[in-house]
Structure 1
Amino acid sequence: MQPRSPCLFWRMSPRQDWWLMREASVAIVILAAGKASRMGEGGRHKLLAEFDGVPLVRRSALTALAADAASVIVVTGHRRSEIEAALDGLALTFIDNPDYASGMASSLKAGFSSRDADSAEGILVMLADMPGISTAHLDALISAFRNAGGEAVVRAVSHGKPGNPIILPRSLNQAVLRLEGDVGARDIIATSALPVRDVDVGDAALLDLDTQEEVLAAGGAMN
C-alpha cells in the first residue's frame, strides 16, 4: 500500500477550523424608540404610517426577521404600546428605553445591553424608518461581516456615501455603551482602527423618513 502524500495531513489552524464549523452570529437591533418630532402636530407617527397596508415598523421587522440573523431586537420608547401593538405576533425581543428622549445613544445602549445582542459576534443596527431596505440588503451586509471573520465594521453605502444599516463587531460593544446624547456610532467607527467594509445598496442606504411629506413621497399613507 502506497503511503499517503504528506499534504493530505495538513490541517488548518484552530481559529480557521472554528470559522469553518460556524459562522459569525449576528443580532439585529431595530431602533424604534424616537419621538419623530419632525412629523408635526396631530399625533401622527411615521413608524405607524402604512406601506401597502402594513405599518412601517412592522414592515421593517418583517424584513429583519427574514434575514440570516440569530435574533431581532426592537428598542421601543415613545408611544411604546402602539409600536408594540403594530408588531404583535412576531418573534421579536422587545427592549424598553425609558430614556428615549435623551437621543439615539440611549436606544443603542439599550439594544446592545440585551442578552440576545450580548451573545452575538456582531450587531446590525437598523433604523425602523428606512422603507427601501430589503432582506437582500441585510443579508449582503451579514455576508460581508462573516467574510471579514466578524472583525470588521460593515456599513451600507450609496455610491460611496455612508448610510445605514451598519454592523458593529462585538469588540466595539463597550464603546457603544459609553455613548451619550443624540449621537450614533459614527465617531466609534472613525476611531476604532478596525477595517470598514462598505456594501453599496443604492439609494436605500440614505432613505430615512422624518416628515409627513417624505412618508408620502416614499409611497406611505399617514393614519
Structure 2
Amino acid sequence: MGVLILAGGSSRRMGKDKLSLPLFGKTILEQTVAIYRRVFAEVEVITKDRIGESFALEGMGGTLRGAARLLPDHWQGVVIALGDMPFVGINSLQALSRAIAMKPEEVWCLSYRGRRGHPVYLPRKYFSYLKRLTGDTGLRDLLPELSPKYIDTEDYGVLFDIDKSDDYLPFQRLVVVKGAGDIATGIIWRLHQAGFKVVATELSKPTAIRRMVAFAQAIYTGEHTVEGITARRSNLFEVPNLLVNDFIPVIPDEEGIVVKELKPWAVVDARLAKKNLGTKKEEAEIVIGVGPGFTAPEEVHAVIETKRGHYLGRAIYQGSALPNTGIPGEIGGHTVKRVVYSPGRGKVCWYFDFGQEVKAGEVIGTVGEKQIVAAVSGVIRGLIHPEVWVEEGMKIGDIDPRGIKEYAFTISEKALAIAGGVLEVLLKLGNTSLK
C-alpha cells in the first residue's frame, strides 16, 4: 500500500502554478509530501510530466486515469491525496492508516464533522474503476457506488485546499512572534482577531508571570485558552494543521530555528528582554522590536513603545523605545510593591492561586525555606510556574491592588495598546510588501 499525491492540475483558479508557491519554508507541494511521508512508507507524486499532457488537460478524471497506469504492482491499496492540501493533520493520517490496517478491503475516507474530505483509500480490487474516469469526473462522483466508510475528525485540514489566491494569502503573511508571555499574547491575540496566522516561540520552561493570559502556559499544559483563542504546544511539522484549525502553535525554540525554517512574512520580537537578543531585519519582510533594546530602521523596521504613559503602544520608525527605568508601572497607586520578587534561590511553592485575594503581610508561598510575603493587598494576577528555577531578586509574581478578579484572566490594556502598534506596522508596511 502506498500514497499517490496528485500534482498534475492546471491551477486555473489560481492563475499560476500554485503547487510551487512558498508555504512555511517549503513549496505547497513539498509541504504536502512531507506530511504524508511522516505516516506512510511509500509516497509517489503524480505530476503532469509523469502522466502526460493529454491526461492532465482533461481535469481530475484524466489525472486519475493517468495515475492508475502508474500504480506499482505490489501495492494492495492506494491512498489518493491532493497536492494542494498541505494542511491535513498527522493524527488524521495516522487514524486512516490504522483503519486500513484493520480492514484493508474497505474504502476509507477522512471527513470533517460529517463532510467528506481527503485523502481517500481504495483497495486493489477498485483500481480498475480509476481507469474509466474521464474529463473532470473525480473521486467525488465515483465514491457513492463504492460505499466508503468514513473516519470523522475535528480536522478542517481534510477539507481545506488552496484553490484561489484568497485561500493562500492568510498563510502567505505568516507572523512569528518571539515570546508568548502576557504582552506577546496580547499581540498574538489581536493579530489573530485581525485575520493573521501567527506562530509563537518560547523557552522550554517559560518564565511568564501572568500565566493565565499567556500562551506560554501551553508549553506546560499542552493547550491553553486566552479569551476564546487556544494555543497548543507544537513542533514544526504540526504548524500547518494547527493554523488551518484556528489554533496558535507555540513551539519551544531556544535554538532559534523556527524563523529560519518557516521563513515568515513578519517577525515580532516580544520577549521584552530589554535588549536585542539577535533579531535582525533580514529575518523577514517586516521585523518589529517590542520595547527597549531595538533601533529602527537599523536593526528592525519598527519599534513599539512599551512604557506606560502618553507614548504607550506607539510605532517608532526612526529611533528606539524609552529606556527601561527598572520601576514597574503604577497600578492602583502601587509600583514596586505590587510586584513579587524571589527572596532566595530554588523552586517556588505557592499557597495561593490566580484570582484569589491576599492581604498585605500574608505569606503567599516559599522559595526553599524562605517565605514570600505580600507587600500589598489585592488579587493574585501573576505566579511564576513552580517548575522554573528562580534566583534571588527575580520577578516571580504580581498582585493587582485594584482587587478585581477578572483582571487576572483577561488581557491587559497595556498588552492591547502594544498590540495595536504592532498591527499598525504590519498594515502600514504590508501594503507594499504583499504587492
The TM-score, its normalising length taken from structure 1, stands at 0.71
Structure number with the bigger relative contact order (C-alpha 8 A, sep ≥ 6) is: 1
- CA distance in structure 2 between the partners assigned to 1:209 and 1:177 by the alignment: 26
**Do the aligned partners of 2:29 and 2:86 also contact (CA within 8 Å) in 1?**
no
Q: Equivalent pairs: percent with the same residue?
A: 27
- Unaligned runs of 5+ residues in structure 1 are 1-25, 81-94
One of 34, 44, 47 as aligned partner of 2:9: 34
The secondary structure found in structure 1 opposite 2:53 is coil
The secondary structure found in structure 2 opposite 1:37 is coil
Aligned to 1:114: 70
**Do the aligned partners of 1:125 and 1:167 also contact (CA within 8 Å) in 2?**
yes
Residues 12-48 of structure 1 show CA distances to partners (whole Å, capped at 9, x for unaligned) of xxxxxxxxxxxxxx210001010100113xxx32111
Aligned to 1:164: 118
Supply the AA of the counterpart residue of 2:167.
E
Q: CA deviation at 1:114?
A: 1.5
Q: CA deviation at 1:168?
A: 0.9
- Unaligned runs of 5+ residues in structure 2 are 174-264, 266-433
| Residue 57 (str. 1) matches residue 29 (str. 2) | yes
**Do the aligned partners of 2:36 and 2:43 also contact (CA within 8 Å) in 1?**
yes
- CA distance in structure 2 between the partners assigned to 1:74 and 1:158 by the alignment: 25
**Do the aligned partners of 2:32 and 2:87 also contact (CA within 8 Å) in 1?**
no
Higher helix share goes to which structure? 1
The secondary structure found in structure 2 opposite 1:106 is helix
**Do the aligned partners of 1:49 and 1:215 also contact (CA within 8 Å) in 2?**
no
Larger deviation, residues 139-148 vs 162-171 = 139-148
- CA distance in structure 2 between the partners assigned to 1:171 and 1:158 by the alignment: 27
- CA distance in structure 1 between the partners assigned to 2:67 and 2:107 by the alignment: 18
Supply the AA of the counterpart residue of 1:56.
I
User: CA distance change for structure 1 residues 195 and 106 in 2, over 3 Å: closer, same or farther?
Assistant: closer
The secondary structure found in structure 2 opposite 1:140 is helix
- CA distance in structure 1 between the partners assigned to 2:24 and 2:140 by the alignment: 33
- CA distance in structure 2 between the partners assigned to 1:64 and 1:124 by the alignment: 10
Supply the AA of the counterpart residue of 1:212.
S
One of 124, 127, 131 as aligned partner of 2:86: 131
- CA distance in structure 2 between the partners assigned to 1:206 and 1:219 by the alignment: 19
**Do the aligned partners of 1:30 and 1:73 also contact (CA within 8 Å) in 2?**
yes
User: CA RMSD for the aligned pairs?
Assistant: 2.1
Aligned to 1:215: 168
| Residue 196 (str. 1) matches residue 168 (str. 2) | no
The secondary structure found in structure 2 opposite 1:178 is coil
Aligned to 1:98: 53
Give runs of ≥4 in structure 1 deviating > 3 Å. 218-223
Give the structure with higher Rg (CA).
Answer: 2
The secondary structure found in structure 2 opposite 1:39 is coil
Q: CA deviation at 1:98?
A: 2.1
Q: CA deviation at 1:50?
A: 1.2
The TM-score, its normalising length taken from structure 2, stands at 0.38
Aligned to 1:47: 19
Higher strand share goes to which structure? 2
Aligned to 1:20: none
Q: CA deviation at 1:186?
A: 2.4
- CA distance in structure 1 between the partners assigned to 2:52 and 2:117 by the alignment: 24
- CA distance in structure 1 between the partners assigned to 2:121 and 2:156 by the alignment: 18
User: CA distance change for structure 1 residues 141 and 53 in 2, over 3 Å: closer, same or farther?
Assistant: same
